[in-house]
Amino acid sequence: MIRAAGMMSGTSLDGVDLAVIETDGIDVFEFAESAYRPYTPHERDVLRAALGKWPGEDGVAEAARIVEDAHIELASDLSGVDLLGFHGQTLAHDPKGRGTHQIGDGARVAFETQTTTVWDFRSADVALGGQGAPLAPFYHWACARWVGLIKPAVFLNLGGVGNLTWVNTKEIAPDHFGALFAFDTGPANAPMDDVVMKAGLGQFDKNGDLAATGKIDAGILESFIEHPYFDAPAPKSLDRNAFAELSQAVGTLVPADALATLAECVCGAVAMGFQHLPAVPSALYVTGGGRQNAHLMSLLTDLLPCPVAAVEALGLDGDQLEAQAFAYLAARVAKGLPTTAPGTTGVGAAVSGGEITRVTASV
């Protein structure tokens, strides 16, 4: 049994989540403590300025130090943990081109916290032809087993970018053919948060209240749904800025109309993603910040051919699911088990991705 802590800093750039679980790398046996460390406005500005950049470019080193320091600060208060899962911060993602770029030195995190640390989860998958993303599907499979789901269901994460996982727990391992099918759906919270912040209205549109009052721009929506990404075969993945032209287009609208249009795009992208699924799921469970946006949840309910609910309906914590996922993946890496597979990233065969920096003999 491994007591692992996972840490996640997502594309929303709000801060770092930490969550502890007990697992054998297959099943989850306990959900333990969790914590959150927000980025300061200055830290967020530095990270935002580094988005889209690659190793050696201006601002990357400063951003990496911020990410490391924040994670170390959060993890240093832990006790009784065997293993850390450290994803770092994704700045750029181009798996079929320049590769994938996550900042943060896991070796430094291990040294400063004196805890064995698993990090660099994407590189091995990308090197073998995979998308390197999404990474949470294996954990979604474990969650579905913990809940006792019998029929196939979908987990939808609405973070900065949207991604979904079709889960079939009848398969006895997540890397088995037919157990999982996953891909990024399209933009999610990131462009909406950008609109709110640019307008000086806060960090995000609480409950989707402003979006609910806006008018959808039909021309922008029509152009969006014609994007070739949606017909491309899955698995597939996106960079945070993959739909920069959408953000530019809604930038000409008043905030309410921009948010209404973006919300329709986000949920329309999920609906279009259903064409790629092996079968219509029994239900869709939403995790990530988007599940707290009542307007998005209402749109999803209207657009999708299955019931829609937040993951809390299953007894799970939608704020901590991504951090828990990296705890679970770290345990799998420590045990030499796969973390990605053809159905989740399009890699040719199941891969155990991630580097391990050991400081104890406990794992």
DSSP 8-state secondary structure symbol assigned to residue 258? H
Question: What's the mean pLDDT in 250-255?
Answer: 97
pLDDT recorded at residue 4: 98
We find that the CATH architecture of domain 2-132+320-357 is 2-Layer Sandwich (3.30)
Strand partners, 89: 103
Q: How confident is the model at residue 83 (pLDDT cuts 50, 70, 90)?
A: very high
Token pair belonging to 89: 């911060």
pLDDT score for 107: 97
Residue type, 28: V
Q: Could you read off the pLDDT of 14-37 as tens digits, one per residue?
A: 899 999 999 999 999 999 999 999
Are 339 and 130 within 8 A, CB to CB? Answer: no
Map tokens 């990410």 to a residue.
Answer: 67
Over residues 109-119, the pLDDT tens digits come to 999 999 999 99
Per-residue confidence (pLDDT) for residue 361, from 0 to 100 = 52
- CA pair distance 271, 108, nearest whole angstrom: 42
Dihedral sign computed on CA atoms, order 100, 105, 109, 114: positive
Measure the N-to-C terminal CA separation of the chain; round to a whole number of Å: 10
The values of phi and psi at residue 149, to 5°, are -65, 135
CATH class for the domain made up of 137-314 = alpha beta
In angstroms, the CA 109 to CA 340 distance is 24
Residue 263 · residue 298 · CB < 8 Å: no
Q: What is the mean pLDDT of residues 179-185?
A: 98
Read out DSSP for 56-110? TSTTHHHHHHHHHHHHHHHHTT--S--EEEE--EEEEEETTTTEEEEE--HHHHH
Nearest residue to 311 (alpha-carbon basis) of 340, 281, 290: 290
Q: Is the N-terminal amide bond of 134 cis, ω within 30° of 0?
A: yes
For residues 245-267, one letter each, b for 16 or more C-beta atoms within 10 angstroms of the residue's C-beta and e for the rest, the string is ebbebbeebebbbbbbbbbbbbb
Residues 6+ away with beta carbon under 8 Å from 42 = none
Tokens found for residue 2: 């491994």
- For residue 10, pLDDT over 90 is answered with no
Nearest Cα to Cα of residue 310 among 326, 281, 288: 288
| pTM for the structure as a whole | 0.96
pLDDT of residue 358: 95
Which tokens belong to 317? 């914590």
Report phi then psi at 229, rounded to 5: -55, -35
pLDDT at 75 over 90: yes
In the chain, the amino acid numbered 46 is: V
Q: What is the pLDDT of residue 363?
A: 54
The structural domains of the chain, with segments of one domain joined by +, span 2-132+320-357, 137-314
Residue 306 predicted with pLDDT over 90: yes
Q: CA–CA separation, 342 vs 337, rounded Å?
A: 15
Please tell me the distance from the alpha carbon of residue 127 to that of residue 96, in angstroms, as a whole number.
Answer: 10
- Smallest Cα–Cα separation from 316: which of 287, 283, 290? 287
Over the chain, what is the mean pLDDT? 96
Do the two domains 2-132+320-357 and 137-314 of this chain adopt the same fold?
yes
Phi-psi region of 255 (alpha: psi -120 to 50; beta: other; left: phi over 0): alpha
Angle between helices 60-75 and 106-113 (to 10 degrees): 30
d(CA 189, CA 295): 12
Token pair for 142: 């474990």
pLDDT of residue 12: 80
